[in-house]
Structure 1
């Protein structure tokens, strides 16, 4: 497709969407808008955008596709300003925010002027941030949720999907309310629970210092999402307040039921509690992107001697396999250590397993 694409917020998501559009629509002219001049310069030098500005008003009238890739509350403020600008009649406006109801409500003033707004949420991310971390493969095989208004012309949704087809994502349409309820349950609530568990553990270690060392390994892994950006999660929590109030109430009730089972020493109920959880968890899809980005960890049994890490990373370098994190777990069995390597996707993890087993006798497991 030809036309001008204006991307507001040139970070990881905005930069990656720009790369995806450029790959599929090379004739498109891409303009980046960001508060940081350095980000604009980086995006331009990397070939992610064709031009950039720190002022949306300078370029918004040229947009055929306008994509807000900024925090939800900032997107709401921009949408409140849009009616004061002159826009092309056939411009398609979308966003990438993690919550949708408040954004869709704010967009009604723009829609009342005859413009198209379709909410969007690409469910993908990375441990890195900023435009320099942008990549065209970020959204591949991930879900990209769209929340068109009720009665939206299907052609407009189809046109947006054409603009975004370079993401190679799996598009799914939901109402804004259903979107916020589902992502609240599968993403927002787990982040709050993980943060609460870590905070409780932090207080606990003040009384029991030995617990600090023992909190490594599995505990660190199951609370990994608590390391997410606190500013972003403050924004998400406030913008999805209503859904989270209900979900947190249900969580509290569930914990009270667990406490009652323990106090009654009801072995049957406790077994059912764990058994039903195991059964449902084991039934979940494997190797698919979901509401929380997957962690692709490979565990390698290695001898504990100097140079073993560089040896393993050397194997990966020979096959040009990139990793995003590496560490030695403190758990030891006999003389073997466990090297935990994290990859960006399942394909890289499987390649790494074959590579390490090809060049060494080390055992690898997921």
Structure 2
């Protein structure tokens, strides 16, 4: 039986999922995509990420077996309220949101019986956004979190995973709270920090031109995701604020300790800071390198 998948937001993540599944499943899957503009619809169709694109919510989600929410996080709940009246009994709702507790808190009270929500978070991305940046291999070997504590039955999980396994992602199960804490440390605080480094450069005033001449691959790599979609990241900070602010304060304390050691001329303490960091990072990469492409 042909699977009908509706992608809400055919951008980088939604578009990449569409490209992957059309490449792997061909005519065994029919993909509809909700796009805001005619230009986005045309590009999604041209690239082959969807079989049908529309700005009409009902036309996109009606009769869909699986609905994949891939909008910025703060747009997901309002969008869900729009699509719920048009979902069929037994439909599976999943998402690509980077924060999970906020979504579940708002979704659980409006989700009708017979509509199964399975929270997800593919830990992948690029500094560019939009379906033009989408790629069929975006998920390959990347961590993809599936949250199991949202009440969906095992058969719904298996139906969803039968489709998502084609992404060749590395799937793992986490509860909602642990997901949000870990995502903050691994992805969200680093992004805030990268943006801060760009801001620091921007505030260098008269040194800007000289700094730019010195900026090589290291600066480019370190600040890569500072070029990511601002709407997405603002929403992430608003919906995982407790974990992000707590970890930023922890980071602030670490930097404060380093500042004190440098100001005191304590080379041994500074050396220990770098040596311990190198040892820990090397151990992490050795342990995980064969399992995941780390973000």
TM-score (norm 1): 0.72
1:289 corresponding residue in structure 2:
293
Name the residue aligned to 1:354: none
C-alpha separation in 2, matches of 1:7 and 1:183: 23
Larger relative contact order (CA 8 Å, sep ≥ 6): 2
Structure 2 SS opposite 1:138: coil
Give the structure 2 partner of residue 30 of structure 1.
Answer: 31
More strand by share: 1
C-alpha distance after superposition, 1:8-62 (max 9, x if no partner): 1112221221233332363222111111122222323343322221021334231
Does the Cα contact within 8 Å between 2:202 and 2:208 map onto a contact in 1? Answer: no
- Where 2:145 maps in the other structure, the secondary structure is strand
1:29 is paired with a residue whose SS is strand
Greater share of residues in helix = 2
Q: Partner of 1:99: helix, strand, or coil?
A: coil
Separation in structure 1 between the aligned mates of residue 177 and residue 39 of structure 2, nearest angstrom: 37
Per the alignment, residue 65 of structure 2 pairs with 64
| Structure exhibiting the larger radius of gyration computed from Cα positions | 1
Q: Which runs of 4+ in 1 moved over 6 A?
A: none
- Matching residue of 1:195: 195
Asked whether the equivalents of residues 95 and 121 of structure 2 are also in contact (C-alpha less than 8 Å), the reply is yes
Q: TM-score, normalised by structure 2?
A: 0.88
- The separation in 1 between residues aligned to 2:230 and 2:83, in whole angstroms, is 28
Moved more, 251-260 or 226-235: 226-235
RMSD across aligned C-alpha pairs, in angstroms? 2.3
**What SS is found at the alignment partner of 1:236?**
helix
Structure 1: 5+ residue stretches without partners: 293-366
Please give the residue correspondences for 1:325-364 in structure 2 after superposition, counting only pairs within 5 Å. Answer: none
What is aligned with 1:45?
46
Give the direction of change, closer, same or farther, for the CA distance of 1:55–1:280 in structure 2 (3 Å limit). Answer: same
How many equivalent residue pairs?
Answer: 290
Partners of 2:145 and 2:205 lie apart in 1 by 41
Q: Using the alignment, how far apart are the partners of 2:81 and 2:2 within structure 1?
A: 28
Whether the 8 Å CA contact 1:44–1:51 is kept in 2: the answer is: yes
